[in-house]
Structure 1
Amino acid sequence: MVLSDVNAIQIQRDVKIMPKVFNTKEIDWTKQPMFFGAEPNVQRFDQQKYPIFEKLNQQQLGFFWRPEEVSLQKDRNDYHLLSEEQKHIFTANLKYQTLLDSV
């Protein structure tokens, strides 16, 4: 055996197989453990394995105003009925509140 063959064998033995970045196998990620299971390929936020996380997510979203909760159609129609002076006051108030939120 030549020295290069010995080095090649040593290198093959020392090299660890690096995990793939994207796993192409079909995996049911809902049956995998939370940590150290098979890689799920793509992050899924639309389906939760543990129902408590979906409940907590909805609770956290409830702390913020979301446009799906309230229809602004009536406000839009009412704004068009205001006089120019009232529109100016309303718009100036919104600008001021936006400024206060950004400080």
Structure 2
Amino acid sequence: MQTDQINRKPLFNPEGDIDVRNRRLINFNTTNINDFNNMKYNWVSDWYRQAMNNFWVPEEINLNQDKSDYPRLSLAEKTAYDKILSFLVYLDSLQSANLPNISQYITANEVNLCLSIQTFQECIHSQSYSYMLDSICSPEQRNDILYQWKTDEHLLKRNKFIGELYNEF
């Protein structure tokens, strides 16, 4: 059956097809069962293991050097650092909020496992930015940097462009 419409999958589907040969990335009649032993997309198994091995915790990274270097940056360097960090926080926050939206349409559960890991990793990235900011500046400065994208004309324009594309989905 050829269709131009991408359908959102049901979460509970007792009538779902369990034949791996029929499985498709989208618009498949899925059961939503995570079956690690029967995957159509074999690349997922290696990717999944590699992604799990990439796990790290931001607080395990020593930022003492950053704490002493940040105050010595020139005004232009600090401005660039702050704006880039504000932009990255926005991007990773948006991505972690959006990946579950995409997952609602993916009917190959092994691929959804990858999206779940990516969502988790985007959250870790966001946490790492907060950890970086906590290490180099006061809570007030941290909040100013985190939300610069709301008041900086260029960051806001860039984020609006990206955010509107995400909203269209």
For the aligned pair, the TM-score class normalised by the smaller chain equals 0.3 to 0.5
Higher helix proportion (structure 1 or 2): 2
Q: Which has the higher contact order (CA 8 A, sep 6+)?
A: 2
TM-score normalised by the chain length of structure 2: 0.23
